[in-house]
Amino acid sequence: MLFRFTEIAIDTESSRGELQTSSAGGYVSFEGWVRDLNEGQEVTRLEYEAFEELAVKEGDRIVAEALRRFPVKRALCIHRVGSLGLSDMAVWVGVSSVHRGEAFDACRFIIDEVKHRVPIWKKEHYRSGDSGWVNCERCAAAPQHSHAELANHHHDRVALPNSK
């Protein structure tokens, strides 16, 4: 399993252990944390919800794709679901490899694709008492934007070294 969900805090120590192999000369990880400010609104907590059956399939495909594209040893992504407070870890990506360059590239590829493709939703609760589903409420008010266009507004896509 290259991608999985957890309802409790991500255990980075044991997850990192899953990536260890004697042929790897290093490991790169990315942690996504709950931030207190988004688009000018003070955030107090988040709720993550996933369509897990499809999300684990798509997440697995993304990490498998990373393993094919980049000459790395092992890779893994873990995402939280449920209610998270400020500074809680929402997502963790780890990649081990012979050299650092491809580990950084693969790690970035995985987190970028996960944000774009995996059916996970985030509800932000604000200091003001309001709440909103990220990427859904404003698109609902501006239906002239297509899904693809919005994705491009909201996320920076990385240029992929091996993509055609």
Partner 1 sequence: MNRDKAALKYHGKTQLDRAFELAGRHVTHVFVSVRADQTLDPTRAQRPMIVDSAGEGPIAGIRSAFAAHPKVAWLVLACDLPYLSDATLDFLLRRRDATVFATAYRSAHDGLPEPLCAIWEPSAAAALADYQTGGGHCPRKFLIRHGARLLEPHDTRALDNVNTPEEYRQAIATLDKAPMQLKIQYYALMREQAGRSEETLETSASTPAGLYEELVARYGFTLSRDQLKVAVNSEFSDWSRKLEVGDAVVFIPPVAGG
Q: Which stretches of the chain bind partner 1, using CB under 8 A? A: 32, 48-51, 53-54, 57-58, 79, 90-91, 111, 114-123, 133-137, 139-140, 143, 145-147, 150-151
Burial of 142 from C-beta contacts in 10 A (0-12 / 13-18 / 19+): exposed
Structure tokens that stand for 51 in this block: 């369509």
15 versus 73: smaller Cβ distance to partner 1 = 15
**Residue among 59 and 102 whose Cβ is closer to partner 1:** 59
Shortest CB 25 distance to partner 1, Å: 27
Which one, 50 or 73, has the nearer CB to partner 1?
Answer: 50
Q: How far is the CB of 164 from partner 1 (least distance, A)?
A: 22
Residue 113 contacts residue 125 (beta carbons within 8 Å)? no
Reduced 3-state DSSP string for 82-110: EEEECCCEEEEEEEEECCHHHHHHHHHHH
| Distance in Å, CB of 22 to partner 1, minimum | 31
Considering the complex, what minimum distance in angstroms separates the CB of residue 109 from partner 1?
13
The helix or strand, by DSSP H or E, that contains position 41, with its residue range, turns out to be strand 41-50
